[in-house]
Amino acid sequence: MNKIPVLEIFGPTIQGEGMVIGRKTMFVRTAGCDYKCAWCDSAFTWDGSAKHEIKQMTAEDIWEQLYALGSDRFDHVTISGGNPALLASLASFISLCKEKNIQVALETQGSKWQDWFDEIDDLTISPKPPSSRMETNFSILDEIVAKLQANHTNFSLKVVVFDDKDLEYAQKVYARYSNAPFFLQVGNDDTTNGNNDELVTKLLTKYEWLIDQVMESNEWTNVRVLPQLHAYVWGNKRGV
Amino acid sequence: MNKIPVLEIFGPTIQGEGMVIGRKTMFVRTAGCDYKCAWCDSAFTWDGSAKHEIKQMTAEDIWEQLYALGSDRFDHVTISGGNPALLASLASFISLCKEKNIQVALETQGSKWQDWFDEIDDLTISPKPPSSRMETNFSILDEIVAKLQANHTNFSLKVVVFDDKDLEYAQKVYARYSNAPFFLQVGNDDTTNGNNDELVTKLLTKYEWLIDQVMESNEWTNVRVLPQLHAYVWGNKRGV
Ligand code: SF4
Ligand code: SF4
């Protein structure tokens, strides 16, 4: 089956986090995940609640919708999920983007390899910390990182941190793959708060906490500590 | 004269803006600028108000002070100003950092070339828009960008935007150097506000405005739109 299960297509907007934070981009959100993170901010991609919204699309279908929204105002597409790495069928869409001179970013937790990883311009591997209640399979992750490094794929590691235990986990990942660009990201544990001012104040307090931990420690040096900018600007709103 | 005029040394903290936003780093702020931007947030580096605080330091002096503050907790130093590109003498400090396996970032407005530009790991050229009341010498800037590109130096362009005219200027710079990584940054026109919540709300409104302009326009595609994170976290405080 060559169709791609898609839940959202939106943009142009900015990428709010990670290695190309701030980048003007379009978003394509695929359905389905092999994880069930406790704090998943896109649980609707896998918990059945948006089942009826999933569209089975070809690469061309997706492109048409992107173009209808973004016309000539974009040159970058971000694929997120769920876990888009479950979908071998994304190969066709990624090729189509390349043909059209569109750069592609993608984020996955690193539980599964796809050969098209090497075609991604900005690949984020984001293993999940203990607060997610998921368990990282480090032998798979080792393999993925080794392949990406061997192939000189432009990738980074990113760990979302909610608490001390998560930061300890992040430290292990950082030490294990010490040659890979590494990003720490503040977790948003208040994904239903509709009061943006309150949310921003909370998130900034958490961000400062995370910065403090990292600045004090000699276990962290080559690291970038970032928030989710979209939460500052748009709060918990979906599709912006 | 081989001494370097230094006004501030602090850290470890995060780089709050630009191409390595979020990076754990130390800061060295040099004195002196050939510009007088209307909204300069470090006017004390050139307006005489901190004249008595300037220390004439050797590369080793600076290193000692960095080490006293950061010990083994850093591997990256950011040199800012003022305009550090006025100082040929920085060559010795940059070499010393290389010897010690410390990466170096630097920001300058692009009014003057230094041969040590090519030694910088993360070089930001930040030409000043009309609201600064400065005038860009584009023939000098052309030469600088051409040399950096010929030498494969890792650099980016960054323009701070306060208003529509600034954004128009930024567009010209973006179009002129279309192969260079390009960052737009929201200007902070409230650098004396001591009320952080108020400041954050203002800055986020401005940030959203800038995002909107860029998203709507087909003149912008390969661009990153960023705020100054340090202003969100620490407000207008100096030395954090
Ligand atoms: S891996 Fe991502 S999409 Fe899947 S459950 Fe975790 S946070 Fe949600
Ligand atoms: S170039 Fe930079 S340091 Fe110099 S006056 Fe302008 S903003 Fe201030």
3-state secondary structure chain B: CCCEEEEEEEEEEECCCHHHCCEEEEEEEECCCCCCCCCCCCHHHCCCCCHHHCEEECHHHHHHHHHHHHCCCCCEEEEECCCHHHCCCHHHHHHHHHHCCCEEEEEECCCCCCHHHHHCCEEEECCCCHHHCCCCCHHHHHHHHHHHHHCCCCEEEEEEECCHHHHHHHHHHHHHCCCCCEEEEECCCCCCCCCHHHHHHHHHHHHHHHHHHHHHCCCCCCCEEECCHHHHHHCCCCCC
What pLDDT is attached to residue B1?
A: 56
- Report percent pLDDT > 90 for chain A: 92
> Residue A127 carries which DSSP code?
P
Predicted local distance difference test score (pLDDT) of residue A18 = 98
What residues line ligand 2, using a CB cutoff of 6 Å?
A: B 33, 35-37, 40, 42, 45, 81-83, 109, 128
Please report the pLDDT score of residue B80 as a whole number.
Answer: 97
The pLDDT, as a whole number, for residue B106 is 98
Pick the residue from chain A with its C-alpha nearest to B204.
Answer: A233
Query: What's the 3-state SS for A46-99?
Result: CCCCCHHHCEEECHHHHHHHHHHHHCCCCCEEEEECCCHHHCCCHHHHHHHHHH
B226 vs A contacts (CB less than 8 Å): 21-22, 229
* Ligand 1 close to Cβ of residue A33 (< 6 A): yes
How far is Cα A28 from Cα A81, in angstroms, rounded to an integer? 8
**Which is the CATH superfamily of the domain at A4-234?**
Aldolase class I (3.20.20.70)
Q: What is the pLDDT of residues B28-55, one digit of tens each?
A: 999 999 999 999 989 999 999 999 999 9
Cβ-based contacts under 8 A for chains A and B: 106
**Is the Cβ–Cβ distance between A159 and A177 less than 8 Å?**
no
A176-185, B163-172, B184-193: least confidently modelled range: B184-193
pLDDT for residue A1: 56
Q: What's the CA gap between B77 and B55, in Å, rounded?
A: 18
What ligand is nearest to the CA atom of residue A29?
1
Measured in angstroms, how far is the CA atom of residue A18 from the centroid of ligand 1? 16
CB B229 within 8 A of CB B200: no
What percent of chain B has pLDDT above 90? 92
Ligand closest to CA B37: 2
When comparing pLDDT for B236 and A209, which is higher? A209
The backbone torsions φ and ψ at residue B4, rounded to the nearest 5 degrees and listed phi first, read -120, 125
Q: Is the pLDDT of residue B152 over 70?
A: yes
Complex ipTM more than 0.95, yes or no? yes
Q: Which of A10, A13, A14 should one mutate to test binding to chain B, selecting the residue with the greatest count of B CBs within 10 A?
A: A14
**Tens of pLDDT along A198-211?**
999 999 999 999 99
Q: Which pLDDT score is estimated for B189?
A: 82
- Site to probe by mutation for ligand 2, drawn from B8, B108, B109 as the one with most ligand atoms within 8 Å of Cβ, is B109
Question: Which CA distances in Å does B24 have to A41, A224, B10?
Answer: 27, 6, 12
Which of A21, A222, A223 has the CB atom closest to B226's CB atom?
Answer: A21
- Rounded mean pLDDT, B70-86: 98
Residue length, chain A?
240
Whether pLDDT at A240 is above 90: no
